Structure 1
Amino acid sequence: MIKAVLVFNNHGKPRLSKFFVRYNEDMQQQIVRETFHLVSKRDDSVCNFLEGGSLIGGSDFRLIYRHYATLYFVFCVDSSESELGILDLIQVFVETLDKCFENVCELDLIFHVDKVHYILQEMVIGGMVLETNMTEVLAHVEAQTKLEKQETTAVSFVKAGMASAPTRAIAAVNTLKAAAPFKR
């Protein structure tokens, strides 16, 4: 089972953190710091698997990570998960982000955090891998984007109609006055 997905930059600033196990806020921050220290001090030529830190579960847990440019993508998993399968999942996650944001960068993760969480949720739910086919994930993301655009258009249409409502009401009253003048 996947316990957490963490993405942080070369300076240890978290850009995405999704915990599938309940930890309080302070513990989550400590886990991110400890994970960064464990992963960042490793050379790029060594294996991308290491034993979990003392906070995330010790020897029963593994940290599986990839370092792309300025970002570390780390999956904290228990011993039942396949290390190579998780490495493949990280690759698919990054490629999907790259397709959605056209050359994904750290700023995309900062300014589109909701979309990044949605993409991750299409792939992993409750710590279990749901989908690894990038085409399927992209199809769901595109459908969600279309739905959001339709909703935005509908809201804009309603707002435009509401903005002109007072003008239409005054025009209707003036028309009634002209048609049937009030007699005393």
Structure 2
Amino acid sequence: MALKRPYTDSAMRDEDAPRKKRKGFSVGPANLPDGTYRRKAQKIKNDLIQRAKIKKAYAKVKAPEQSGSNEMYRHQEAETSSTQPASLDLHPDRQAMLDRPVPSVNAPRHSKDDTDDISELHRRSRPKRSIYLKDTQMAKQRQLEAEARRMVREEKDRERRAMLKARRPDREGRYRLGRQSKILLHKVQRLVEEGKVDRQ
């Protein structure tokens, strides 16, 4: 049969035994190689230590203030109970607002003084600028450019078809030089307007 352990009081045991030094806490695995992960773990650990120190310092500062604030609160309660109760008179601004005449249903919403205030307010506050203003302007510009290109393309196509028609000989086999000259003149005018041909 095994021997029984001798009975000792737990309080006696704690006093007799020397206190063990607490180990520090660890963040992340202990066998990390020196590098990014280890530095990150060390940074996290240092931040936690710093926060704990700040909390401890804050608790030390807050404790006396907490007890002092309770006393101040009691002192203020005693003062307010000893002072006279608040009067039932209205504040002058509130009284003036209540004394104003109530506008009738058919009356205009704003008086002349109010409209002056409103117009001043509108002058001061600028309209909110759209965040898409630049984009919409660029889109409009691109749209106008595309429209101009389309019109030029249609004009060129019309000229080409008219020129093909004018180059066909008539029934007697003669070329229609009058029609060709009008089309060529129109084409030259368009090129001068576009700036592709210099005026001389």
Short-chain TM bin: under 0.3
Which structure's relative contact order is higher, taking Cα pairs within 8 Å and 6+ residues apart? 1
TM-score, structure 2 as length reference: 0.24
Higher strand share: 1
